[in-house]
Amino acid sequence: MYVVRDIFNTKPGKAKELVKKFKKSFESFKQSGFKVRIMTDTVSTYWTVVLEIEVEDLKLYFDMARERNPEMEKAMEGYMELVKGGRREIFKVE
């Protein structure tokens, strides 16, 4: 199993808006059988949002990411206007 964390540093005060967009896009993740959760920081850098996804197969994860999904695109429309940077971490669960 793998844990994929997409870590977003949002613009000041925009974390809640990004969280709303992720929640709208959850249906696509659930249909793929991924366990997904959203986390926001409480003591670290301000306005950080983490989308964490547990997947059995990284190929399935990346295939889904490349696949065009109109519902996901609509839910995430304009999200880059909320974000100033970020990174992805992928961990293998031992």
Give the model confidence (pLDDT) of 19-28 as tens digits.
998 888 877 7
pTM of the model: 0.83
Mean of the per-residue pLDDT values of the chain? 87
At residue 8, the pLDDT reads 94
Strand pairing report for 2-10 and 35-40: unpaired
Return the pLDDT at 61.
Answer: 84
Could you read off the pLDDT of 36-93 as tens digits, one per residue?
899 998 877 789 999 999 999 899 888 877 877 787 778 788 888 999 999 999 999 9
The 10s digit of each residue's pLDDT in 73-89 is 787 888 889 999 999 99
Range of the domain at 12: 2-92
Token representation of residue 51: 């989308």
- For residue 25, how many C-alpha atoms fall within 13 Å in the half-sphere facing its CB? 23
Give the CATH number for residue 81. Answer: 3.30.70.100
Number of domains present in the structure of the chain? 1
